[in-house]
Amino acid sequence: MNELQNTLRRLLRVVIGGRWGVFAWSLSGASALAVILWGLKAVAIPLLMIKTASWGIWGLGVIRESKLRTPIRP
């Protein structure tokens, strides 16, 4: 059972993207908050740039975590 929990924890960390993923999710949340506060028309172009950057950061985090967490088998 402990092995299953460790595997699930590792997979969750990969899906989130580790530290880089948490940063990307925060950046995405901040952009959603900006849309709520100032409206979509006011932040449309910066929103596209922030969303593109956050998806890229998240993707890098997922790749990094998946490579770090892969067990090496002899």
For the chain, the maximum distance between any two Cα atoms, rounded to a whole number of angstroms, is 56
pTM, entire model: 0.77
Domain locations in the chain as residue ranges: 2-68
- The per-residue pLDDT for 69 is 61
**pLDDT, tens digit, for every residue of 12-69?**
888 888 899 999 999 999 998 989 999 888 889 989 999 999 999 999 999 998 887 6
Residue 59 burial class via C-beta count within 10 angstroms: exposed 0-12, middle 13-18, buried 19 and up: middle
DSSP 3-state percent helix, strand, coil across the chain (nearest 5)? 80, 0, 20
